[in-house]
């Protein structure tokens, strides 16, 4: 193992293992922004990805079969994989419990959804310790450790307790709450102190970084210095960096794929089935932070107040299944389906249905075809760390005539102002007005706005995100770290 190896630590591995029969198993690539971002980095630098397999230990194949599957995965990805086993009870309390019933809603300012069960905290600590032990066993001095997201906040704390001397960076993919919200967390001091065991803490936006710095000052009293993208926190005899590093997408890859013939053919089919109207697109994972019920009510408000839109627009709402079997998410699904039924029942006419609802994951070709086809994107989360769907939509707009309506509480809003139509998702009439503004917007203004949105994404793409974080975490001067040269995007 060469010195300077990059080690990515995340809740899930970038592969999916699933049973294909009574005794057969299959392995397939994982999906998501983190896989897209870090895969090429590890492949070119030579690295390691450590994470959970995604299935309970009780359901896993034999170790021999599992190692064979991981060997296949390693040959496909081009970098090493190491897994952490989690038992079913650990998954329930660490992942579904502390991570998704406490940190997820609290960090999204929706603390009414929190369940502060003390047993969740105990298991969260134990699982983070388990991850840390695996990191210690599979890394060596000189490796740079990059830990990702809210499920693994305590990993650096546990590594320090194990006496491990490594450079450790952490990136939070979700928002960080303001002080008045963070104070509601019973383990607020432990979480803050654990984050300060990292050498670099990365946040999506300057607002998230300011919220974190405010909590550190108010609750711990540490001295904070620096301006701009990165702050320095003095913790005893150490200096901890806290910076904002907005995550992005591979702009060129999306733009090129959207221009392919297979996507063009799919896009033609979509418009042939929904002719002579503007299509409004919503794409979301099933989650209460995404504001889907509020969006449907705003669309209904637009139809009621602007009757000239009827028969001329269709809302295409895609909901990707998530956390199936969890009661709260099942209730949300039923509420969405009830609202879709009520709107269609009230406004449907012969030859026109106002809302088309899809509850499934979309193949990539179909998703990008929707991005390319739909004249308006309606992306209105109640709170979001960044929202890469907004960036994917803009990158895939081949004709440059799409209009982006975006929640001002999405991390991407800071980058997209004033070229997107920013809205408050709780303001139903305000969102309805934005829908009408997009519907009536002229071609010249549409293209002008989209050109600027695309230029912003192209300049600040996924390569820039990786570069900026590693530059801050490993070297103050990029020239001191020549192994990063491969990050230069293809022309």
**What pLDDT, on the 0 to 100 scale, is given for residue 226?**
82
**What pLDDT, on the 0 to 100 scale, is given for residue 476?**
43
Instruction: State mean pLDDT over 254-273.
Output: 95
Instruction: Out of 50-54, 60-64, 238-242, pick the least confident.
Output: 60-64
Matching CATH topology for 6-247+463-487 and 251-459?
yes
Within the chain, how many helices (H) and strands (E) appear? 19, 17
Checking DSSP bridges between strand 403-407 and strand 313-320, what pairing results, if any?
A: unpaired
| CATH class name, domain 6-247+463-487 | alpha beta
State the pLDDT confidence band at 491, using cuts at 50, 70 and 90. Answer: very low
Contact 419, 453 (CB under 8 A): yes
Q: Please check the confidence at residue 478 and state whether its pLDDT lies above 70.
A: no
- Please give the CATH topology (third level) of the domain spanning 251-459: Rossmann fold (3.40.50)
**What pLDDT, on the 0 to 100 scale, is given for residue 130?**
98
384 is catalytic: yes
User: pTM for the complete prediction?
Assistant: 0.92
Give the rounded percent of residues in the chain with a pLDDT score beyond 70.
Answer: 95
Please name which of 53, 17, 31, 50 lies closest in space to residue 285, comparing C-alpha atoms. Answer: 31
3-state DSSP percent of the chain in helix, strand and coil, to 5: 50, 20, 30
Query: CA–CA separation, 405 vs 398, rounded Å?
Result: 18
**What pLDDT, on the 0 to 100 scale, is given for residue 78?**
81
Instruction: State mean pLDDT over 269-280.
Output: 94
**What pLDDT, on the 0 to 100 scale, is given for residue 364?**
92
**What pLDDT, on the 0 to 100 scale, is given for residue 473?**
84
Prior bond of 418 cis (ω within 30°): yes
Q: Please check the confidence at residue 484 and state whether its pLDDT lies above 60.
A: no
Annotated catalytic residue: which of 384, 419, 433, 461?
A: 384
| Half-sphere exposure (Cβ direction) of 306: Cα atoms closer than 13 Å | 21
**What pLDDT, on the 0 to 100 scale, is given for residue 37?**
74
Work out the widest C-alpha separation in the chain, in whole angstroms: 72
**Three-state DSSP class for residue 247:** coil
Domain ranges of the chain: 6-247+463-487, 251-459
DSSP code at position 182: H
Annotated catalytic residue: which of 173, 199, 433, 461?
A: 173
State the pLDDT confidence band at 270, using cuts at 50, 70 and 90. Answer: very high
Instruction: State mean pLDDT over 454-465.
Output: 91
Instruction: State mean pLDDT over 201-209.
Output: 95
Instruction: Out of 71-85, 133-147, 354-368, 414-428, pick the least confident.
Output: 71-85
Q: Please check the confidence at residue 21 and state whether its pLDDT lies above 80.
A: no
Please name which of 10, 212, 216 lies closest in space to residue 107, comparing C-alpha atoms. Answer: 212
**What pLDDT, on the 0 to 100 scale, is given for residue 475?**
59
281/250: higher pLDDT: 281
Instruction: State mean pLDDT over 133-154.
Output: 94
Instruction: Out of 19-28, 60-69, 93-102, 433-442, pick the least confident.
Output: 19-28
**What pLDDT, on the 0 to 100 scale, is given for residue 22?**
67
**What pLDDT, on the 0 to 100 scale, is given for residue 322?**
86
Contact 212, 176 (CB under 8 A): yes
**Average pLDDT of the chain to the nearest whole number:** 91
Instruction: Out of 32-36, 136-140, 372-376, 401-405, pick the least confident.
Output: 32-36
**What pLDDT, on the 0 to 100 scale, is given for residue 444?**
97
Query: CA–CA separation, 142 vs 164, rounded Å?
Result: 11
Q: For the chain, first and last CA: distance in Å?
A: 31
State the pLDDT confidence band at 483, using cuts at 50, 70 and 90. Answer: very low
Instruction: State mean pLDDT over 300-323.
Output: 96
Q: In what order do the strands lie in the sheet with 403-407?
A: 355-359, 313-320, 278-285, 376-379, 403-407, 421-423
Q: Please check the confidence at residue 485 and state whether its pLDDT lies above 50.
A: no
State the pLDDT confidence band at 463, using cuts at 50, 70 and 90. Answer: confident
């Amino acid at each position: 193992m060469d010195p300077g190896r990059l080690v990515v630590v995340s809740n899930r591995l970038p592969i999916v293992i699933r049973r294909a029969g009574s005794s057969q198993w299959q392995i397939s690539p994982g999906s998501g922004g983190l896989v897209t971002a870090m895969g090429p980095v590890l492949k070119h630098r030579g690295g390691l990805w450590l994470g959970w397999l995604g299935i309970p230990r009780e359901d896993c194949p034999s170790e021999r079969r599992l190692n064979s599957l991981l060997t296949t995965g390693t040959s496909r990805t081009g970098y090493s994989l190491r897994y952490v086993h989690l038992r079913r009870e650990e998954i329930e309390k660490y992942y579904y419990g502390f991570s998704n019933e406490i940190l997820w809603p609290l960090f999204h300012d929706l603390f009414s959804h929190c369940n502060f069960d003390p047993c969740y905290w105990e298991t969260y600590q134990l699982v983070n310790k388990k991850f840390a032990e695996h990191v210690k066993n599979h890394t060596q001095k000189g490796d740079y450790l990059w830990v990702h997201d809210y499920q693994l906040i305590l990993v650096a704390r546990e590594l320090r307790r194990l006496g491990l001397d490594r450079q450790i960076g952490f990136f939070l993919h979700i928002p960080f709450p303001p002080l008045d919200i963070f104070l509601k967390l019973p383990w607020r001091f432990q979480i803050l102190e654990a984050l300060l065991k990292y050498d670099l803490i990365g946040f999506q936006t300057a607002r998230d970084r300011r919220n974190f710095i405010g909590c550190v000052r108010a609750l711990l009293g540490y001295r904070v210095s620096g301006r701009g993208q990165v702050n320095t926190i003095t913790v005893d005899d150490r200096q901890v960096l806290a910076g904002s590093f907005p995550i992005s997408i591979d702009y060129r890859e999306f733009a090129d794929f959207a221009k392919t013939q297979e996507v063009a053919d799919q896009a033609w089919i979509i418009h042939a089935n929904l002719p002579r109207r503007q299509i409004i697109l919503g794409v979301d994972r099933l989650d209460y932070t995404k504001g889907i019920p509020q969006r449907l009510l705003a669309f209904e408000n637009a139809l009621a107040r602007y009757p000239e839109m009827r028969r001329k627009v269709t809302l295409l709402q895609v909901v990707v299944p998530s956390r199936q079997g969890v009661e709260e998410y099942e209730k949300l699904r039923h509420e969405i389906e009830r609202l879709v039924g009520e709107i269609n029942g009230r406004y449907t006419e012969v030859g026109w249905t106002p809302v088309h609802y899809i509850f499934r994951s979309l193949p990539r070709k179909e998703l990008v075809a929707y991005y390319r086809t739909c004249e308006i994107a309606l992306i209105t989360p109640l709170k979001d760390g960044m929202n890469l769907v907004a960036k994917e939509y803009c990158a895939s707009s081949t004709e440059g005539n799409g209009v982006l309506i975006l929640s001002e509480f999405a991390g991407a809003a800071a980058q997209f102002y004033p070229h997107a139509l920013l809205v408050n998702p709780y303001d139903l009439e305000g969102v309805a007005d934005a829908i009408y503004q997009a519907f009536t917007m002229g071609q010249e203004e549409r293209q002008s706005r989209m050109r600027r949105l695309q230029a912003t994404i192209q300049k600040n793409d996924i390569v820039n995100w990786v570069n900026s974080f590693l530059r801050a975490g490993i070297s103050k001067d990029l020239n001191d770290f020549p192994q990063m040269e491969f990050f230069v995007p293809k022309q």
